[in-house]
């Protein structure tokens, strides 16, 4: 039939139209491409940029200061430390190690942090170093189990939770626990402090170098302070026990004065 185009001819014509630039089929009505529209559509305004969401940073030291100041007694301070969630060491420790000994004791001993045995038992200085500490103070008539505060010692640490693998506490960790330690000393109200090792010296005195500091009275938190080498060091360095005995005699003389 004349005027009928087969498939292949139609396909060839369509491809030819595409090559000429055709990009849409013919509509029912003609379109005047040169006609100016009655109203130029307005561009949509760009959306206002959203203000960034500012999440206030939490200052863990400020939180610790508020929590420590709110504690009115040692039991409340212990619970405040237990509730403090900004020190990651808490997540890996078994127990909070708050203190041991007689409350109201004239001598307050401050160590570094709990070790494995202390973490298990929940009391400071209960391992080999703690047993040596007990013998050292017993030699000058003081004990953590003494019935009277005049002959007693009260023991705590800078950090109440055990660091992984007994590593040295980091400055940020010491800073977070410092408000609790200050409040601990205020509530315990000892006559003097004994700092066992570098970390307590850093926390209380702002200095390190225990072999230079030991045996020399200083002042911290408004109290007389005696730095001493840690009992764990004495277990490794037997000759250093002579210096530790001299420091103990200084403590006894201070108490008797």
Residue 162 domain flag: yes
The backbone region for 119, taken as left when phi is positive above 0, alpha when psi lies in -120 to 50, beta otherwise, is alpha
Residue 6 domain flag: no
For residue 214, give the nearest of 239, 168, 247, 252 by alpha carbon.
247
Domain of 111 in residue numbering reads as: 60-256
Task: Determine phi and psi for 68, rounding to 5 degrees.
Answer: -65, -40
- What pLDDT band is residue 6 in, cutting at 50, 70 and 90? confident
- What pLDDT band is residue 140 in, cutting at 50, 70 and 90? very high
Residue 69 domain flag: yes
Record the pTM: 0.78
d(CA 124, CA 117): 9
CB 220 within 8 A of CB 193: yes
Residue 55 domain flag: no
Residue 105 domain flag: yes
| Number of structural domains found in the chain | 1
- CATH (domain of 214): 3.40.470.10
- Mapped onto helix, strand or coil, the DSSP state of residue 252 is helix
More confident residue, 244 or 14: 244
Residue 164 domain flag: yes
Is the Cα dihedral 154, 160, 161, 166 positive or negative? negative
d(CA 162, CA 221): 24
pLDDT tens sequence across 17-40: 777 777 766 666 666 666 666 666
């Amino acid at each position: 039939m004349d005027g009928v185009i087969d498939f292949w001819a139609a396909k060839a014509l369509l491809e030819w139209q595409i090559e000429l630039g055709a990009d849409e089929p013919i509509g029912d009505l003609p379109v005047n491409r040169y006609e100016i529209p009655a109203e130029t559509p307005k561009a949509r305004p760009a959306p206002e940029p959203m203000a960034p969401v500012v999440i206030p940073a939490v200052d863990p030291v400020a939180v610790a200061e508020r929590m420590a100041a709110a504690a009115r007694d040692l039991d409340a301070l212990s619970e405040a430390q237990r509730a403090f969630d900004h020190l990651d060491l808490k997540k890996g420790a078994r127990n909070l190690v708050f203190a041991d000994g007689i409350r109201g004791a004239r001598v307050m001993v401050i160590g570094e942090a709990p070790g494995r045995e202390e973490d298990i038992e929940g009391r400071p200085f209960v391992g080999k170093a703690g047993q040596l500490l007990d013998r050292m103070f017993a030699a000058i008539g003081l004990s953590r189990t003494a019935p009277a505060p005049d002959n007693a010692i009260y023991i705590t640490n800078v950090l109440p939770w055990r660091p992984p693998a007994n590593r040295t506490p980091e400055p940020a960790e010491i800073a977070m626990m410092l408000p609790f330690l200050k409040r601990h000393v205020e509530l315990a109200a000892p006559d003097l402090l004994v700092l066992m090792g570098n970390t307590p010296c850093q926390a209380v005195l702002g200095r390190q170098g225990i072999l230079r500091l030991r045996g020399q009275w200083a002042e911290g938190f408004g109290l007389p302070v005696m730095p001493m080498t840690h009992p764990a060091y004495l277990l490794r360095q037997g000759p250093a026990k002579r210096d530790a005995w001299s420091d103990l005699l200084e403590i006894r003389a201070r108490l008797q004065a």
